[in-house]
Amino acid sequence: MKFIILAALVAVAVAADYAPKYEAPKYEAPKYEAKYEAPKYEAPKYEAPKYEAKYEEVTYAPQPYSFEYDVQDKESYNDFLHSEKSDYNVVTGSYRVALPDGRTQIVTYKADKDGYNADVKYEGEAKYPEYVEKQYKAASYPAPAFSAPAYPAPAYPKY
């Protein structure tokens, strides 16, 4: 048995040496001449601006002023007042705002070289509506108005 296996291996090795050797065909791509040349563009030239921009912060001397406005719009529930006046160095003013909870916020302020100082006060008492959980009732629907389909009993053929 060993002899047969050894003989088969020798036969395969000898047959591999005598197998015809084929070379793959060589392929050369056809040579084409370019008939079209891509257009050549020059890079755009950038010229630096001929002026030099200088930005300086413009400051103005303080001027006295005074203003006041009042808004009362029932449709949008806006109700506020703002007034302010200034001499050359001190700005004083106040504003009033109607808050959603029913109170009125009053802010009186003063701004000068020492900073901004505000005094906040409230008029009225905050009122919040009491939360009432909605009671939902389960909906009752009538029974379906169709009947279940009737299927005939299976009939098996006799052989």
pLDDT for position 92: 95
Average pLDDT, integer, range 52-74: 85
CA distance 103 to 97: 9
Average pLDDT, integer, range 62-70: 89
Over its C-alpha atoms, the chain yields an Rg (Å, rounded) of: 49
Q: Which residue has the higher pLDDT, 88 or 68?
A: 68
Element counts in the chain: helices (H) and strands (E):
1, 5
CA distance 21 to 97: 101
pLDDT cut 70: percent of the chain above it: 89
Q: Look at residues 106, 126, 110, 127 and name the one whose alpha carbon lies nearest to residue 118.
A: 110
Q: In angstroms, how far is CA 82 from the centroid of its own chain? A: 37
Rounded to two decimals, the pTM is 0.45
Q: Which residue has the higher pLDDT, 105 or 149?
A: 105
Q: Which tens digit of pLDDT belongs to each residue from 30-40?
A: 776 667 777 78
Query: How many residues appear in the chain?
Result: 159
Do 99 and 114 touch, CB atoms closer than 8 A? no
On average, the pLDDT of the chain sits at: 83
Which of 51-65, 69-83, 108-122, 145-159 has the largest mean confidence? Answer: 108-122
pLDDT for position 119: 96
Do 121 and 113 touch, CB atoms closer than 8 A? no
Q: How many CB atoms lie under 10 A from the CB of residue 60?
A: 5
| Residue 18 scores a pLDDT above 80 | no
| Residue 94 scores a pLDDT above 90 | yes
Q: Look at residues 67, 124, 55 and name the one whose alpha carbon lies nearest to residue 92.
A: 67
